[in-house]
Structure 1
Amino acid sequence: MNYEERDPYGMYKGMNSASLRSSAALSDSMNQHGGPGPQLMGADTLIGNDVVSLSDDDLGDIKELMLDMKSGHVAYAVLSFGGFLGMGEKLFAVPWSALRLDTVNKRFVLNVERERLQDAPGFDKDQWPDMADSEWARGIHAYYGSKPYADALNR
């Protein structure tokens, strides 16, 4: 299920996929349908969205969004990968900046191949890491080739 299908308030109603194909058309498309998306989106509509690699391999789906309560920024998307019917799945904290929203196909794209994600630092649903730990965060950002948003805020 994608964000348009999970939209209880109709905020994405009337979004025209064809008009979202270029970033130049984003502001025009927002004016056409009158809603906030795709530049501002409801968090609960993003839970469950598919994530694919650049080569279109299925990498899983978003299970949770982790918010930094001091800054108000989305720090990580928790991605579920592998397993069957919730058994054996592994969770990954993916830096929000490492994900790109594909508005045409209504999913997220992560610039990581399936094999690399399998080797990524992950965790079990019963043993979450301390995502506020700066050492842990540096390791995650280094793995995905992204910069911690906190570094950008301190400049």
Structure 2
Amino acid sequence: MYISVQKLRPHAQIPKRATAQSAGYDLYALPEEPLTIQPQEICKVPTGIAVAPSRPDVALCIFPRSGLSTKHGITLINSVGLVDSDYRGELLIPLINHGSEPFTVEAGMRIAQLVVLPILTPELKEVTRLDTTERGAGGFGASGLS
């Protein structure tokens, strides 16, 4: 398997894994000029790249970077971004500033991680009843585990 990466602008950076065992590929910001995100503000940060996996049975998931979130309160507004295998537009990263200070995103800054995950698409079958389980319909802490 491979992922085709198209640079949409000359200074875009190809995603890279930081170490041999890194699960994710770092995604790099490419705003036209430094972009300041005010506290509680949401901004879509361009990466300057479009991607295409070689297989249709995968999804590209965008995860926040732990350093940005723990040091500055910068994370993804949707927790995890889901990029379908047939999307061909630019990867835009929706960041939110949960911190108390403005945060400036500059070109070349690592802002998120791209992780490839397999996708199962089972047939959905309508039924009149589901099988019973010990847990049943109990949710939101009903299993007794914290």
TM-score bracket relative to the smaller structure? under 0.3
Structure with the largest fraction of helix:
1
TM superposition score normalised by structure 2: 0.27
User: Which structure ranks higher in relative contact order (CA pairs < 8 Å, sequence separation ≥ 6)?
Assistant: 2
TM superposition score normalised by structure 1: 0.25
Structure with the largest fraction of strand:
2
